[in-house]
Amino acid sequence: MAREIPDATVARLPIYRRSLVELASTGAEMVSSAALADLAGVNAAKVRKDLSYLGTYGVRGVGYDVKFLLRQIGDALGLDIETPVVIVGMGNLGQALAHYGGFSSRGFPIVALVDASDAKVGEVVDGITISHIDDLAAIVDEHAIAVGIIATPAEAAQAVADALVAAGVRSILSFAPSVLHVPETVPLRKVDLATELQILGYYQQRESPAEGGNTDKSA
Amino acid sequence: MAREIPDATVARLPIYRRSLVELASTGAEMVSSAALADLAGVNAAKVRKDLSYLGTYGVRGVGYDVKFLLRQIGDALGLDIETPVVIVGMGNLGQALAHYGGFSSRGFPIVALVDASDAKVGEVVDGITISHIDDLAAIVDEHAIAVGIIATPAEAAQAVADALVAAGVRSILSFAPSVLHVPETVPLRKVDLATELQILGYYQQRESPAEGGNTDKSA
DNA sequence: CCCTGTGAAGCAGTTCACAGCG
DNA sequence: CGCTGTGAACTGCTTCACAGGG
């Protein structure tokens, strides 16, 4: 199944995908690397190099078939099948994430919500009843959940990560401002909101000449 | 004022800072690169190299003074002064961000909330009354707002970014799933939640042998 | 003649390994 | 003797530039 794709390229595939979805909705059938680069906010050479890791799908002198390319990227990202998600931590952020439609619409339906507080268990958010964290293993099993989102305070995050791994979740997205240790086999990504602002602070302060670092690479 | 710090290092400074705050609260006075590396989840050589960009602050044979280092990192990130923030877009995500305490506590108080919908204007969230986006320039001016957070749908994001720049905001953090164009002088960082999940999808699907890419670099 | 695909050059970031100072 | 600071090697990503196919 295809070859090894560099991390930096993988991180850009979702952006190409988004651009292609947009293009497809305008009725475009073919797209050149230059046009796609423009939409995705990168340069054309990068687009060609990135796409070349997927395979030789372009047509010289013409460009890429939009629909075909969409399918190829979707396959590479494993979007051909739905990936059920559980959110752990139903504070402000967890609730917002539960309401956020962007996940389900992109193949990551939220099928369970979990919290450690008895006060929250039983409450219904966006049509889903909040369960207790102690039942995590059963819930993950029942819904065949593959991804866990951690939206707890920093102190609880490691224990939650351990519980998610033990329950059989295959990858984790954490919003907790802390370093997490998970087995090598479990892909982990972190988003720390306060950190993002602090990074901006650096560039702002020195009347920055360019984009603030590398969100490009990770989103 | 100090020399040029590489992007990758800047992105890690907030993590070192977090680790140092933790250490300080335990009463530790000195810390070695190895110990700090452990807390921050990186290796010791990286810590030393990173800190060397700030200056020669370590003591050979001993380590780094925790409090002093904290101050140096804070200075580099411009955290010596408070940086007022406005959130644009009061949907689920915007509301959650408004409630999230992690910003204010780290020097980025949220001083204004803005939305385009008349239905939302006037509503009070977390003690702040939502204003209309048309008043953005006046609000930014009045509160000396330096950072704008975009939490609108993708379609509105570019217009909002333009308005923020025009209003005099100095840097932008966007949660909208779209490519934004801003002047080179305005640092911009992007966080796209759905993109993060899609990246995980790739690694998960191939029984990944390591962390899913580079959130490390950006958070 | 246009646009892809890709070797090769260039650059940035990481890691190594050790000299040097306390 | 321990731990920092840093040249130097290395690795991986980006950009260039052009050969080659439609």
Backbone torsions φ then ψ of B62, nearest 5 degrees: -125, -60
CA of A203 to C1' of C18 (A): 34
Q: Is the pLDDT of residue A218 over 70?
A: no
Query: Looking at beta carbons, which residues of chain B come within 8 Å of A192?
Result: 14, 219
Q: What is the pLDDT of residue B105?
A: 87
CB contact under 8 A, A11 and B99: no
CATH class of A7-76: mainly alpha
Q: What is the pLDDT of residue B95?
A: 93
CA distances from A192 to A10, A49, A124, B131 (A): 20, 30, 27, 27
User: Does at least one atom of strand C sit less than 7 Å from the CB of B60?
Assistant: yes
| Sequence ranges of the domains in chain B | 7-76, 85-196
Q: Is the pLDDT of residue B177 over 60?
A: yes
Q: What is the pLDDT of residue B2?
A: 52
CB contact under 8 A, B202 and A15: no
Pick the residue of B50, B215, B216 with the most A CBs within 10 A to test the interface with A by mutation: B215
Q: What is the pLDDT of residue A23?
A: 97
Q: What is the pTM of this model?
A: 0.93
Q: What is the pLDDT of residue B102?
A: 86
Query: Can A7-76 and A85-196 be said to share one CATH topology?
Result: no
Backbone torsions φ then ψ of A71, nearest 5 degrees: -65, -40
* Overall fold of domain B85-196: Rossmann fold (3.40.50)
Strand D proximity list, CB < 7 Å = A 6-9, 42-43, 45-46, 48-49, 59-62, 217; B 32-34, 44-45, 48-49, 51-52, 56-64
Size of interface A-B (CB pairs under 8 A): 265
The beta-carbon neighbor of A10 closest among B5, B18, B202 is B202
Residues in chain A: 219
DSSP β-bridge partners for residue A112 = A86
Min Cα–Cα distance to chain A from B5, Å: 10
Beta strand spans in chain A (E): 30-31, 64-65, 85-88, 110-115, 124-125, 128-132, 147-150, 171-174, 188-190
With beta carbons less than 8 A apart as the criterion, state whether A193 and A175 touch. yes
First-to-last C-alpha distance (Å) of chain A:
25
Banded model confidence at residue A3, pLDDT cuts 50, 70, 90: low
CA distances from A156 to A35, A150, A151, A162, B155 (A): 45, 9, 10, 10, 36
- How far apart CA B112 and CA A100 sit, in angstroms, is 22
Q: What is the pLDDT of residue B208?
A: 43
Q: What is the pLDDT of residue A207?
A: 64
Q: Is the pLDDT of residue B140 over 70?
A: yes
Min Cα–Cα distance to chain B from A17, Å: 10
Tens digit of each residue's pLDDT (9 = 90 or more) over A18-47: 999 999 999 999 999 999 999 999 999 999
Nearest-10 crossing angle of helices A193-205, B7-25: 120
